[in-house]
Amino acid sequence: MATLLTGSTGYLGSYLAAGLLREGEPVAVLVRARDRAEAERRLWRAWQLHLTPEDFFEHLRLRVEVFAGDLTEPDFGLSPDDRLRLARTTDAILHCAASLNRRSERACLNVNIRGTLALAKLAREIQDERGLRRFSHVSTVSVAGERSHEVVDEDSAVDWQRRDYDAYGRTKKFAEHLVGELLPDVSRLVFRPSIVMGDSRFAETTQFDMVRAFSFLASLPVLPLRPLDRIDIVPANWVADAIVTLHLRERTDHRVYHLSAGREAPTYRAITDTLSEALGTGRPAYVPGLEGPFRFAASVLGRLGPKPVRLGARLLDVFFPYLTYDTVFDSSRVVTELGRAPASFPKYAAPLLDWSRRQNFRYPHREWPEGADRPPAPSRPATLEDVAAAAKTTNGSNGSHSRSRAAHE
């Protein structure tokens, strides 16, 4: 039996896929694509941060079953045979797919609520047939809504009387509620990451939105922020490790976990001091009273500014509320259960920003390796039971090391 992973071509999803495979867990992935060939190419583009071509094709052959479909389509856009095979060969779901379009209520409703409902129905189907091992839902600390100068724990995060910052946080809050109403406590986990940015082990990244926004901020001599405000940022490798570890654990101490820097979240001053020293720029002046004019300027520059500035300004316009609320999310549950805290953002921020700037905020993707040893087309669709059996016969309970770990640890 395998874990069905959604969102596997996203930034965090690629980390989750690599982590599950490293632990020897057979994985089914639902990829939005017209066919398997297109789905495989999308996976290669997303997973090459973690895998060599040889490892990638080995996993496709032995440990990964690819379903080309769409989370929001009836029966996930699968043929009747594939839909049946998916239901019969998975006993766990790790739901990471989400719409991050904070400006589009429609996109967030469609993916974050309708998509989650479809997966919850699949989970109940699995539960009724043979028992559901685990349903892990990747949510967000944004479900806490508008906050200011607070430390928020898991049990007090959802307050239905509070306003939400945007459609993303609002729909993720409703998705959590939906999962809680439809699925049994014993199999359900909810993970709420804070701002996920970079990897504490190396500088390379394939996700640049927040990095670009911070690059824009780091270039300014004056910041409309309070220097002692805290911002809750965590590295993707720690977040994924926590999710994979607890998803595969038979019993956990809690049902909901904040994956956050918690009370150790750094201040803006700590971050800017580190960046200015490493990048050779002057320390900025902090003028909180400029918040209103700054947001107006970011909005104007996002529409009319020079091209190099426009995208950074647009991103700041979207993310600025999350940069000014001075709210951290208690992470003592996961730190206690996992046995380790996340690396502090100032410790890896400068290499991340420097590498991203040198790459012009584009990951140097390698093309699809033509002539590579791809899995042969089966005479019948391989089942995930076949995948699990093959994995056991290849000395492979741990799979192969990721490219990132092999190169940087």
pLDDT (tens digit, 9 = 90+) per residue, 268-304?
999 998 888 887 888 899 998 888 887 777 777 777 7
What pTM value is reported for the model? Answer: 0.88
Predicted confidence at residue 391, as pLDDT, reads 43
Weakest-pLDDT range from 72-76, 324-328, 365-369, 402-406 = 402-406
pLDDT of residue 372: 61
Domain CATH for 96: 3.40.50.720
Q: Are 116 and 176 in contact (CB under 8 A)?
A: no
Report the mean per-residue pLDDT for the chain: 87
- Which of 234-238, 239-243, 305-309, 350-354 comes out lowest in average pLDDT? 305-309
Q: CA neighbours within 13 Å on the CB side: how many for 28?
A: 26
Average pLDDT on 128-142 reads: 95
User: Three-class SS string for the chain?
Assistant: CEEEEECCCCHHHHHHHHHHHHCCCCEEEEEECCCHHHHHHHHHHHHCCCCCHHHHHHHHHHCEEEEEECCCCHHHHCCHHHHHHHHHHEEEEEECCCCCCCCCHHHHHHHHHHHHHHHHHHHHHHHHHCCCCEEEEECCHHHHCCCCCEEECHHHCCCCCCCCCCHHHHHHHHHHHHHHHHCCHHHEEEEEECEECCECCECCCCCCHHHHHHHHHHCCCEECCCCCCECCEECHHHHHHHHHHHHHCCCCCCCEEEECCHHHCCEHHHHHHHHHHHHCCCCCEECHHHHHHHHHHHHHHHHHCCHHHHHHHHHHHHHHHHHCCCEEECCHHHHHHHCCCCCCHHHHHHHHHHHHHHCCCCCCCCCCCCCCCCCCCCCCCCCHHHHHHHHHCCCCCCCCCCHHHHHHC
Residue 210 pLDDT level (bands cut at 50, 70, 90): confident
Give the pLDDT confidence of 33-69 residue by residue, as tens digits: 999 999 999 999 999 999 999 999 999 999 999 999 9
Query: Given this model, what pLDDT does residue 303 score?
Result: 77
pLDDT on residue 164: 92
Chain position carrying tokens 């789905």: 39
Is residue 118's pLDDT more than 60? yes
Can you name the residues that pair with 230 across neighbouring β-strands? 267
Assess whether pLDDT exceeds 70 at residue 390.
Answer: no
Question: Do the domain assignments include residue 164?
Answer: yes
Across the range 177-188, mean pLDDT stands at: 92
Can you tell me the mean pLDDT for 371-393? Answer: 47
Domain assignment present for residue 12? The answer is yes
The confidence score (pLDDT) of residue 101 equals 78
Domain for residue 270, yes or no? Answer: no
The reply to whether 27 falls in a domain is: yes
pLDDT at 64: 96
Residue 161 pLDDT greater than 80, yes or no: yes
Asked if residue 291 belongs to a domain, the reply is no
Residue 216 maps to a domain: no
Does the pLDDT at position 401 exceed 50? no
Could you give the number of structural domains in the chain? 1
What pLDDT score was predicted for residue 394?
A: 40
Q: Tell me the residue range of the domain where 15 lies.
A: 2-197+233-263+328-343+365-403
Query: pLDDT confidence of 405, banded at 50, 70, 90?
Result: very low
pLDDT digits (tens, 9 = 90+) for 70-113: 999 999 999 999 999 999 999 999 999 998 877 778 889 999 99
Q: Is residue 389 over pLDDT 70?
A: no
Find out whether 129 and 65 touch, Cβ atoms under 8 Å: no
Model confidence at 127: pLDDT above 60? yes
Is 271 contained in some domain?
no
pLDDT at 56: 94
- Percent of the chain whose predicted confidence (pLDDT) is above 70: 89
Banded model confidence at residue 220, pLDDT cuts 50, 70, 90: confident
Q: How confident is the model at residue 264 (pLDDT cuts 50, 70, 90)?
A: very high
Is residue 97 assigned to a domain? Answer: yes
